[in-house]
Amino acid sequence: MKRIAPVIGTPRFSPITLGQKLKSLEIDGFAFTETVHKPNQTLARHYHEHANIAFILNGSFTKILDRRRFECSPQSLIIKPAGEAHANHYGRGGMHCFLIEVKPQKVKSLESFSKTFDRVNHFRGGMFSMLATRIWKEMRVMDSASPLAIEGLSFELIAEMSRHSSLVSERQHPYWLKRVREILHAHFSEPISLANVAKTVDVHPVHLAREFRKFYGCTLGEYIRGLRIEFACHKLSTSDTPLVEISLAAGFSHQAHFSRIFKRQIGITPREFRSLHRSR
């Protein structure tokens, strides 16, 4: 793995993206940008004028703050306050990303949700990726109803993030909980039981279930489904592998089950998802 240099130097102002813009749109205090970045690219320390949410459609990148690093993979989102200094390093596959800027007047109008934009937060899969994907899909098709749909979905996404904004930061996780996460990432396509994972890390299953939900905002089962969908999204957007093969490789028992869970998680079918990525 390539070592990423520590963050040093004075941060510079940057527009929302220094990558290639594919499409952009503004709607009443929101700005939406679809962008791609080249593989193995590093952006020096910089900051953006507005609070923003980055949704990773494909590829990956590491967001580097002074003392924290966020590994952002497909179907994850990261929210940053205005003026938050950071550097970016893009993975060997580059990154295809959908950015949502929230301008000051819009942040102010959200009132009770405004604290959502006070600190960096990283979200994975589930309702977050489903809502972000639907916003991106609306911008791609863009008919007369899309502006209203995009604004409404953006409010929903911010509300969902607000509900989870009180989650404890990564560095405060119990040491064994990080090991649990490593196990799930390594074996997501295999049958995994709560009891076996708890035995491996030497904690009681009830304590494991409670602490996992507290720190990650979902159950182990929901987290595993998210990893499987994340894997499937990558395959759908980067290969011509048949759906039945993708579903089995991701750990689903059959294609119909995979398609049903995929639509529930992402909001569109696997075929629609593949078609959207091929049309960019």
Report if pTM > 0.85: no
pLDDT of 194 higher than 70 = yes
- Residue range 50-81, pLDDT digits in tens: 999 999 998 889 999 877 889 898 888 999 99
pLDDT of 6 higher than 50 = no
Buried b (16+ CB within 10 A) or exposed e, 34-68: bbbbeeeeebebbebebbbbbbbbbbbbbbbeeee
- Nearest-angstrom CA–CA distance, 262 and 252: 11
Give the chain's domains with CATH numbers. Answer: 12-164 (2.60.120.10), 170-278 (1.10.10.60)
Average pLDDT, the chain: 86
pLDDT of 42 higher than 70 = yes
Average the pLDDT over 6-25 and give the result.
Answer: 76
- Nearest-angstrom CA–CA distance, 163 and 121: 12
Confidence of residue 238 (pLDDT cuts 50, 70, 90): confident
Confidence of residue 266 (pLDDT cuts 50, 70, 90): confident
Confidence of residue 15 (pLDDT cuts 50, 70, 90): confident
Furthest-apart CA pair in the chain: how many Å?
Answer: 56
Confidence of residue 172 (pLDDT cuts 50, 70, 90): low
Percent of the chain clearing pLDDT 70 (strictly above): 92
Confidence of residue 10 (pLDDT cuts 50, 70, 90): low
Nearest Cα to 213, choosing from 169, 167, 259? Answer: 167
Average the pLDDT over 250-273 and give the result.
Answer: 90
The pLDDT of residue 116:
83
The pLDDT of residue 165:
64
Residue whose token pair is 């390539």:
2
- Is 122 strand, coil or helix? strand
- Residue range 216-229, pLDDT digits in tens: 778 899 889 888 98
- Nearest-angstrom CA–CA distance, 129 and 151: 16
- Residue range 183-192, pLDDT digits in tens: 999 999 999 9
Q: Where are the beta strands (DSSP E) in 120-165?
A: 121-124
Category of 183 on φ-ψ map: left (φ > 0), alpha (ψ -120 to 50) or beta = alpha
Whether 209 contacts 248, CB under 8 Å: no
Nearest Cα to 117, choosing from 4, 30, 13? Answer: 30
Percent of the chain clearing pLDDT 90 (strictly above): 46
- Residue range 86-125, pLDDT digits in tens: 999 999 889 999 999 999 888 888 877 767 888 888 888 7
pLDDT of 169 higher than 50 = no
